[in-house]
């Protein structure tokens, strides 16, 4: 598991505290031997009423733990650095954990490798069909 490359396209949701609705996001990760870089895209319905936001991420993978910071490109948001820490599932296709803007608020997130769920379903069907 420690060498599982996280490079690729991901989809996810992060949850706000209180009564705010969850926000969907897309991420592209590049994993260079455990150094993680990439970008995220999301549509902010909570604070801007629908602005598309892009952010850069920079972090690392250590065993089954992924940590990174997310810095928004939009000047109204880039003062708030968001810190993420998540647990990578054994198959490398799902990461879940928590995020925080230090001293302000925090929440949870989950992200799945695009195609990961479909590949699991295909593998399961293949296994079932192959059983006599």
Residue 42 belongs to a domain: yes
> What does the pLDDT read at residue 77?
73
The answer for residues whose C-beta is within 8 angstroms of residue 49's C-beta and 6 or more apart is none
Residue 2 belongs to a domain: no
| Domain with 58 in it | 8-130
> What does the pLDDT read at residue 74?
82
Mean pLDDT in order along the chain per 10 residues (132 residues): 83 91 96 97 90 95 97 80 96 97 93 73 45 44
> What does the pLDDT read at residue 97?
98
Residue 3 belongs to a domain: no
Residue 85 belongs to a domain: yes
Residue 102 belongs to a domain: yes
Tally of domains within the chain: 1
> What does the pLDDT read at residue 131?
46
Q: Which residue has the tokens 């989950």?
A: 110
> What does the pLDDT read at residue 78?
67
Going by C-alpha positions, the residue among 2, 75, 62, 73 that lies closest to residue 36 is 62
Residue 71 belongs to a domain: yes
For residue 88, the domain's CATH number is 2.40.128.120
pTM: 0.82
> What does the pLDDT read at residue 125?
43
């Amino acid at each position: 598991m420690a060498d599982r490359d996280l490079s690729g396209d991901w989809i996810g949701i992060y949850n706000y505290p209180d009564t705010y609705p969850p926000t969907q996001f897309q991420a592209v990760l590049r994993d260079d031997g455990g150094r993680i870089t990439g970008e995220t895209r999301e549509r902010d319905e909570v604070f801007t009423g629908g602005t598309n936001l892009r952010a850069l991420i920079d972090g690392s993978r250590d065993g089954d733990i992924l940590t990174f910071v997310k810095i928004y490109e939009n000047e109204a948001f880039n003062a708030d650095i968001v810190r993420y820490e998540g647990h990578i599932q054994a198959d490398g296709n799902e990461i879940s954990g928590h995020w925080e803007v230090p001293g302000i608020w925090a929440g949870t997130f989950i992200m799945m490798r695009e195609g990961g769920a479909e590949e699991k379903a295909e593998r399961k069907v293949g296994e079932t069909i192959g059983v006599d």
